[in-house]
Structure formats: structure tokens, C-alpha cells
Amino acid sequence: AQTVTQSQPEMSVQEAETVTLSCTYDTSESDYYLFWYKQPPSRQMILVIRQEAYKQQNATENRFSVNFQKAAKSFSLKISDSQLGDAAMYFCAYRSPYLQGGSEKLVFGKGTKLTVNP
Amino acid sequence: KAGVTQTPRYLIKTRGQQVTLSCSPISGHRSVSWYQQTPGQGLQFLFEYFSETQRNKGNFPGRFSGRQFSNSRSEMNVSTLELGDSALYLCASSLGTIVGGAHEQYFGPGTRLTVT
């Protein structure tokens, strides 16, 4: 079974600076999907960024980018020019494309609480 | 387009009771997944429905059950509640087509269940 590990329970960053959140995963599959989700204090989880394992190019979405190291099974999230609104729990998630029936089950890490200091 | 809605948002129940939570997916979405979120265990997958059929199930006891209706709305039921069932229950919907790809999953605000 796949596992996802986020080794940083909490992180903090100064407004306008850059922070990197770490995520490692364990899988024997060669193809899969990785996601970073953000859960603000209001609790609505939203997708920040996604990466397909077959793509070598790292995904970027505005101020958010990932460093995907497939051999190392590492998937870190970099937030540039941090804003107060970035404060939230961030979850790394794994999805297998091989589950029976096309299941979209996500396996989540335990999360990293990001604090943005003004 | 309206987002995923979950009702009720907050619920307090007593040990031994049962509870039913509801999830209305985004219009046109056919897949609904349920997750339990607790401080200790994090986010754990409960089950997933697609076109009224359960297509995946997590490692939870049989007290946890669910179903999906023809309009894609889903309910989950927990019978004989235990203190450990206190959690935030999240549902997520997606287009959920069977043929490959990874559609984005949209999460609802959750139902906060407290068991006393």
C-alpha cells in the first residue's frame, strides 16, 4: 500500500518570503498522481497543484511550484512571495491510476501547518 | 456553479446512537468520496461511490456505511457511535469517469461530528 509522509508538522514564514514544504511517498507503481491540497481554518480543502508522475517537468501554478524527484520519491511544494492568505494546513496526497473501477481514492500525508508572519 | 455541500455542518450525538450525514456533489459530478479527518489519524479514506455503486472502501468497521442516489447525492451512516468516531467528515466530488485521467476532486466544508 502506498504511504505519504510529511515530516514537518509546522512551518512558519515571513510575509513575502519563500517557504518549502516537504513530502515523501512510498510506492512500487511507476505511474501515479501527486497533489498538494490547502485547508484554511474555514476547513474547505482546495487543490493547490498537481503533478503527473510521467511528466518530468515540475508543475507550477502562479506562486506555487513543486520539486518532483521521482527516483527519490520526493514531492516538495515551494510557495514564493508568501501572503497572509497562504496560512493553512497543507496536505500532500497520492493517487494510483490502477485502482479497480477507476477509483479516485487519495492517500494523504498528515499535513503541515503553515503560519505566515506579517 | 454551486460547490459541494454537506449537511449538517455540526452534529452532537451520544454514544450508541446512529447518525446520517449528507453530501450533495457539484452538478454533473458522478463520483463522491468520503474521508474522516482526526488530529491523530489525519485524513483517512472511508468509501467512494460512482453512479450509485461503491467502487472502493477503506479500512473501517462495518458500522460505517454509505450509499449514493440516482442524482449523485450521497449519504454516509454510522451506527452505534463510539467516542472515537468524533471527527470532521469530508466528502469530495469529481466527474469520476472510468476512462483514465485524474479529475480534480472538490471538497465540501465537512460535517463536524462530536460524540459524547
Size of interface A-B (CB pairs under 8 A): 70
Average pLDDT of chain A to the nearest whole number = 94
- pLDDT of A103 reads 85
Among the listed residues A32, A69, A71, A28, the one whose alpha carbon sits nearest the alpha carbon of residue A50: A32
**A91 inside 8 A of chain B by CB:** yes
Record: contact B109-A44, CB cut-off 8 A: yes
Tens-digit pLDDT profile for residues A70-117? 999 999 999 999 999 999 999 999 998 878 777 889 999 999 999 999
Q: Report the relative pairing of strands B19-24 and B10-13 from DSSP bridges.
A: unpaired
Record: contact B42-A111, CB cut-off 8 A: yes
Confidence tier at A24 by pLDDT (50, 70, 90): very high
Record: contact A105-B50, CB cut-off 8 A: no
Q: Report the relative pairing of strands B5-7 and A60-61 from DSSP bridges.
A: unpaired
Average pLDDT of chain B to the nearest whole number = 94
Task: Find the angle CA(B107)-CA(A55)-CA(B35) to the nearest 5 degrees.
Answer: 20
- Distance of alpha carbon B44 from alpha carbon A72, whole angstroms: 25
The answer, yes or no, to whether residue B100 has pLDDT greater than 90, is no
Range of lowest pLDDT (A25-34, B9-18, B72-81): A25-34
Record: contact A102-B99, CB cut-off 8 A: yes
Share of chain B above pLDDT 70, in %: 95
**A31 inside 8 A of chain B by CB:** no
Record: contact A102-B96, CB cut-off 8 A: yes
Tens-digit pLDDT profile for residues B49-70? 999 999 999 999 999 999 999 9
Contact list in B for residue A47 (CB cut-off 8 A) is: 104-106
The contacts of residue B76 (CB under 8 Å, 6+ apart) are B20, B21, B23, B34, B46, B47, B64, B65, B66, B89, B91
Tens-digit pLDDT profile for residues A47-72? 999 999 998 899 999 999 999 999 99
- pLDDT of A85 reads 95
- pLDDT of B49 reads 95
Interface of B with A (CB under 8 A): 3, 31, 33, 35, 42-45, 48, 50, 55-56, 58, 88, 90, 92, 94, 96-100, 102-110
